[in-house]
């Protein structure tokens, strides 16, 4: 079974089943070594960087983001 197929099946679970599965999956990450954890984060950072490059134009200037945030807080 591929990861996509597994994900599709997991999302069919009722909320309690998904929560239980999520808890077990998160707990399993605690068992990773520091090197394994660092490698996973490096892979995720690379994936996000590649995704950002493909989604050109989706970003916003920081000034605009901060202006909107300030306006919401007022």
Q: Is there a single domain that holds both residue 52 and residue 21?
A: no
Q: Is there a single domain that holds both residue 42 and residue 20?
A: no
Domain range enclosing 67? 33-74
Pair 62, 70: CB distance under 8 Å: no
- Name the pTM for this structure: 0.46
Distances (CA, A) of 52 to 26, 38, 47: 26, 21, 9
| pLDDT tens-digit map of 7-64 | 999 999 999 999 999 999 999 888 889 999 899 999 999 998 888 766 666 678 889 9
What local confidence, expressed as pLDDT, does residue 7 receive?
94
Q: Is there a single domain that holds both residue 38 and residue 53?
A: yes
**Total structural domains in the chain?**
2
**First-to-last CA distance in the chain?**
51
């Amino acid at each position: 079974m591929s990861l996509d197929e597994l994900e599709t099946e997991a999302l069919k679970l009722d909320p309690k089943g998904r929560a239980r599965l999520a808890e077990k999956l998160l707990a399993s990450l605690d068992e990773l070594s520091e090197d394994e954890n660092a490698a996973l984060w490096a892979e995720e950072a690379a994936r996000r960087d590649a995704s950002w490059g493909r989604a050109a134009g989706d970003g916003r200037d920081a000034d605009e983001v901060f202006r909107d945030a300030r306006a919401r807080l007022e």
